[in-house]
Amino acid sequence: MTATSRLYYRILQWATVGVFLGRAWQHLYWDAPYRALLWDERWMKGLVANGLGMRWQDYVTSLEVNAFIQNWITGTGVFYLICALAAAFLPRLGKPGRWLMYLGAANLVFLAALYCKDKFFFIGQFFEYTLQFGSPVLLALWSARPSYAPGRRMVLGIKIAVALTFTCHGLYAFGYYPRPGHFVYMTMSILSVGNEQAALFLQVAGILDFALSIMLFLPGRAPLYAAAYAVFWGLATTLARPWSALITSGWELMWLQWMHEAVMRLPHFLIPLLLTHYLWRASSKKVASTELPVVSSQKWVT
């Protein structure tokens, strides 16, 4: 494995460990939106009646059912913790570890779908998590062939994941979807501005999100500049949550309530960092063909 390939692998590894650790903390200590599905009468009433033989009112008020849902959430948190440990030691686990990454990614896709349902089926809510559920997949693919550089298909996949994540984030920041109150709260806390100034700042940030997503697919050096900005903005939005909590509430609330929100967003700047480094090397023509061999039989290496 070359030094560059090792660097890229470590970036993907830390991004994936961060996602799983953050989600594990959320599920084990806080909550996840499983009840948005399991307590939806329109979707579940028939299944409850036919499968469990229960009336809907008995189902939604049952302490046993609620305990089952809570145990499911806790068990999912334990699973995410196992996935985080597996990602940290993936080279030693081989193929079983890679399948665990795929299974963990599938669970993250399901979680994104639950958030999408909980947020009135805004499609942007689902794709905002693309970098999070995409990180374990990229890590597993890379672990299968760690000595190779990313091929055109993998780079394109990374660009699409970055563009989807930032575009969907921009839809909320710009105000296309109802702007989350914590977006405004964080902006006001960190920048010490009023509500109107915070809204204007977020509108501009949303426009820049759209711009970088387009620039990633333009010719020349535009993708490099877009990826570099994505690193900056991804890091800023990742740190904004614990930073704003530290400013307004102190260390205890920051660590307890908001640090996992930052940890699970490590892919939002680490994967753009990988892309930035790759594009910089490519544009500088410093990548020698002998250093990064091409294997035609490898699906993701072209």
Report how far residue 272's alpha carbon sits from residue 38's, in angstroms, rounded to the nearest whole number. Answer: 36
- Count other Cβ atoms within 10 Å, centred on residue 194: 10
Structure tokens at 169: 């984030």
Q: Could you tell me if 238 and 266 are in contact, meaning their C-beta atoms sit under 8 angstroms apart?
A: yes
Q: Which residues of 77-116 are buried (b: 16+ CB within 10 A; e: fewer)?
A: bebbbebbbbbbebeebeeebbebbeebbebbbebbbbbb
Strand intervals (E) in 19-70: none
pTM of the model: 0.90
Provide the residue type at 259 as one letter: M
Report how far residue 60's alpha carbon sits from residue 227's, in angstroms, rounded to the nearest whole number. Answer: 47
Q: Where are the domains of the chain?
A: 1-147, 151-302
Chain segment 34-78, per-residue pLDDT in tens: 999 999 999 999 999 999 999 999 999 999 999 999 999 999 999
Chain segment 90-140, per-residue pLDDT in tens: 988 989 999 999 999 999 999 999 999 999 999 999 999 999 999 999 999
Chain segment 227-276, per-residue pLDDT in tens: 999 999 999 999 998 998 888 777 777 788 889 999 999 999 999 999 99
